[in-house]
């Protein structure tokens, strides 16, 4: 069952209280409804984590944690899911979202990008960032919303299937025991 798997691998609120670096968040972060594992809190956490993971921002985990508090989602799961964007996936993920955003905006994507160690390159990179930020953000937000909704509804379906399967197993056990 998804709940048992998640409980086994995610930290508990008491473990999180021991972390000294989280003191600035106050007591609200330890509210029990932000740590429950049910289909609502987990599906919201999946939505938030995937969406924040698609945003090309340096504060993805902080944003995911804050949104989890606001939308009553499971905090550790939403923060963990941000790591779908990691050093191994950044380049293909953000290149694809940039191309997608450029396609939506009807602009031609920049293909000839080179890296060199010089001051001129650094200054030209700032100009490049000014050119690509709109298609990158648009593509990232749209892709993030798409995959977030996909993850949200997939979790709802998996959770429901798991519950129905456990009901059937219990019913079969009862039927078997009553016949004995």
How many domains would you assign to the chain? 1
User: What is the model's pLDDT at position 180?
Assistant: 62
CA proximity to 21, closest of 73, 61, 54, 69: 61
**What one-character DSSP code corresponds to residue 18?**
T
User: What is the model's pLDDT at position 157?
Assistant: 95
Q: For residue 50, what are the domain limits?
A: 2-179
Q: Is the pTM of this model over 0.85?
A: no
Split the chain (180 residues) into runs of 10 and give each run's mean pLDDT.
66 67 64 82 96 94 91 92 92 92 91 72 78 93 98 95 88 75
Own/partner pairs for 159-168, CB < 8 Å, 24+ apart? 159/2, 159/39, 159/42, 159/43, 160/39, 162/1, 162/2, 166/1
User: What is the model's pLDDT at position 150?
Assistant: 98
Measure the CA–CA gap between 93 and 99, rounded to whole angstroms.
10
User: What is the model's pLDDT at position 25?
Assistant: 60
**DSSP per residue over 50-114, as a string?**
HHHHHS--TTHHHHHHHHHHHHT--HHHHHHHGGGS-TTTHHHHHHHHHHHHHHHHTPPPP----
């Amino acid at each position: 069952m998804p709940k048992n798997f998640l409980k086994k691998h995610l930290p508990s609120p008491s473990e999180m209280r021991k972390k000294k670096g989280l003191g600035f968040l106050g007591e609200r972060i330890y509210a029990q409804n932000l740590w429950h594992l049910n289909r609502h809190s987990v599906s919201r956490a999946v939505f938030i984590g995937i969406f924040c993971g698609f945003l090309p921002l340096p504060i993805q985990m902080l944003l995911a944690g804050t949104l989890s508090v606001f939308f009553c989602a499971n905090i550790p799961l939403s923060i963990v899911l941000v790591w779908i964007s990691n050093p191994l996936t950044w380049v293909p993920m953000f290149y694809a979202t940039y191309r997608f955003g450029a396609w939506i905006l009807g602009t031609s994507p920049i293909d000839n990008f080179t890296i060199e160690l010089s001051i001129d390159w650094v200054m030209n990179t700032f100009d490049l960032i000014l050119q690509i930020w709109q298609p990158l953000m648009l593509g990232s937000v749209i892709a993030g919303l798409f995959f977030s909704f996909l993850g949200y509804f997939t979790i709802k379906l998996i959770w429901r299937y798991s519950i129905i399967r456990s009901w059937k197993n219990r019913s079969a056990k009862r039927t078997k025991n009553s016949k004995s």
